[in-house]
Structure 1
Amino acid sequence: MNGQAAASPWHRGEVAIQESVGMAGRMAELGPRVIRDHLTEQHRAFFPLLPFAVLGSVDGEGRPWATLREGEPGFLHATDPFRLQVDGRRDPDDPAEAGLEDGDGVALLGIELATRRRNRLNGTVERAGPEGFAIRVEQSFGNCPQYIRSRHEGPRIGDGATRPRPVLSDGLDPAARALVAAADTFFVASFVEDAGGRRQVDVSHRGGRSGFVRVGAEGGLTVPDYSGNRFFNTLGNLLANPRAGLVFPDFATGALLQMSGRTEIMLDPNEDERIDGAERLWRFVPERVVVRPRALGLRFVEHRAA
């Protein structure tokens, strides 16, 4: 590096949360070593194995959305160490589609449920037409398998199956509440903007025992934040910009419950608000909700111990 220290990958929100737990110094040292501006050979080999990926984007109103996109293994592939190609047609039913135009900030999480491997990246959309796009990588890094519920792929429903129209609302109906209350997995998209208005988007996994997300009487969600890698990408983004997009997949039916709204971080919650095992909490209030029945053809079955 010609004697120069590597630039820090952390923004002000991430550093603030790291400082709150006494890890800022350690993360300042570790960050430049584990967060790269390219895909390693291992990651380039990993992504083509996957039948789906999680995407995070931001629409024209500045609302983040998280979504799942599927394809035959190989629909994700690196054309070179700096670009990941995402093949597939546009999906007008998906609210995340509005943030997947050429030049938009985007995030992608590759996760293999059977092995609990996951790798994460963010960057910029490069799109030349309607049939897929590339992501120009800005940050790429691995994540540990902690809190991922192991599942294996079941029978896939064919493309010819009828897909109902999405249902739009500004809150959670009883069916959506029930899905959240029973969930052990969801994904969250968030973003920050630099001084020039350029967006850095992130999308990450959240998991726990079924019912780990609390659904309040008013329709807001309370999410536990368990011990993790101390990067605080999500919480750091939310501290700097309280908007978030959540997606709860129903692995048995292929339905997606997507919502975009606002958050509040609780670094030191009151005793009566604490959740067992959580170091801190955050709250989410949905402002836009999209229910997409049978959005995915993929089905997954939870691994059961013998």
Structure 2
Amino acid sequence: MFHPGEQIVQRRAGLTVGGWGSAGVGASIPQVAADFLARQRLLVIVAADETGAAWAGALTGPPGFVTAPDDRTVIADRLPGAGDPLDGLFRTERPVGVLAIDPATRRRMRVNGHARDDGGRLVIRTEQVYSNCPKYIQTRDATDEALPERGPAQVTGELTAEQQRRIAAADTFFIGTYAQGLGADASHRGGNPGFVTVTGSRTLTWPDYAGNAMYMTLGNLELEPRCGLLFLGWDDGHALHLTGRARVDWDPERAASVPGAQRLIDFEVDQAIEVSGAIPQRWSFGGYSRFNPA
């Protein structure tokens, strides 16, 4: 099935190649992808809750905590932890977007499908499996340094001053989108620190840089503006989950004011959940992507 949102965005962006986008993505997991999954320590997962709010969260573990026992199944041997907005959602099977990312090698792949809780494991039946280019990924290595244990969740309706500071200093975040009947999707966004602008206690803006022109994120947003953002504290293990609504601004004059931007995305926060100790180990910084605009 062709994704109507992707087609609308592709036309606006001037893309004339027919059949490009999620409709051309296969459901099977090739062996090279299964091997990649088995080496990963970090998954970003995305789903919508019963109210339709979209959330992005993280699953972490040692290499081997994710497996692909056959060419249509991915299993993570754990579920979202306490305080994570995705905690408990998979008792009922629902659409899920998954991003497996290895910052050390700048490799990533996406797995979209349906997921359910199977005795404390997250079992995903795949519908879309594909790899992405390494653009805008900053290198990081997982260390053996353990961070403090998971703490309670802090829930607010707007960003605190410290959360605003974290976002303004971030070089990476993850975005989760979905469209009714078309599934969920998890994606990475990266740039030099400051590429996300905090414009208020409930508003953010970031640039949309040149990518693979599939426009899976923007295509979902065209049909459903509700989305979730995840900012990870690579040094301290904090996870900041935001849910809200995003709007794509196609004004070329506004985009021209931001280096490298093809368009800008404005996001309004509905709710913020911060969990300390959400990821258990420190990730050491390596270097910025050479693709990051100045």
Aligned residues, how many? Answer: 288
Do structure 1's residue 141 and structure 2's residue 112 form an aligned pair?
no
Do structure 1's residue 125 and structure 2's residue 115 form an aligned pair?
yes
User: Closer, same or farther in 2 for the Cα pair 1:208/1:222, shift >3 Å?
Assistant: same
Matched with 1:56 is 46
Do structure 1's residue 216 and structure 2's residue 199 form an aligned pair?
yes
Unaligned stretches of 5+ in structure 1? 1-7
Cα RMSD (Å) of the superposition? Answer: 1.8
Do structure 1's residue 168 and structure 2's residue 158 form an aligned pair?
no
**After superposition, what is the alpha-carbon deviation per residue over 1:203-226, rounded to whole angstroms, capped at 9, x for unaligned?**
100000011000003430001000
| In structure 2, C-alpha distance between the alignment counterparts of 1:275 and 1:205, rounded to whole Å | 19
Unaligned stretches of 5+ in structure 2? 289-294
TM superposition outliers: structure 1 runs of 4+ over 6 Å: none
Deviation, 1:47, is: 0.3
| In structure 2, C-alpha distance between the alignment counterparts of 1:51 and 1:242, rounded to whole Å | 30
For 1:261-280, list aligned pairs within 5 A.
Answer: 261-271=244-254, 274-280=257-263
User: Does the residue aligned with 1:16 lie in a helix, a strand or coil?
Assistant: helix
| In structure 1, C-alpha distance between the alignment counterparts of 2:247 and 2:207, rounded to whole Å | 12
| In structure 2, C-alpha distance between the alignment counterparts of 1:193 and 1:237, rounded to whole Å | 9
| Higher RCO (CA < 8 A, seq sep 6+) | 2
User: Does the residue aligned with 2:200 lie in a helix, a strand or coil?
Assistant: coil
**After superposition, what is the alpha-carbon deviation per residue over 1:69-118, rounded to whole angstroms, capped at 9, x for unaligned?**
11111111001000000111452311022432342111110000000000
User: Closer, same or farther in 2 for the Cα pair 1:229/1:27, shift >3 Å?
Assistant: farther
For 1:1-306, list aligned pairs within 5 A.
Answer: 8=1, 10-23=2-15, 25-28=16-19, 33=24, 35-129=25-119, 131-157=120-146, 161-194=148-181, 200-271=183-254, 274-304=257-287
User: Does the residue aligned with 2:175 lie in a helix, a strand or coil?
Assistant: strand
With structure 2 as the length reference, what TM-score do the two structures score? 0.93
User: Does the residue aligned with 2:134 lie in a helix, a strand or coil?
Assistant: coil
Considering only CA atoms, is the larger Rg found in Structure 1 or Structure 2?
1
User: Closer, same or farther in 2 for the Cα pair 1:213/1:174, shift >3 Å?
Assistant: same
| In structure 2, C-alpha distance between the alignment counterparts of 1:290 and 1:104, rounded to whole Å | 21
User: Closer, same or farther in 2 for the Cα pair 1:222/1:126, shift >3 Å?
Assistant: same
Confirm or deny: 8 A CA contact 1:18 1:27 kept in the other structure: no
Matched with 2:292 is none
Percent of paired sites with the same residue: 32
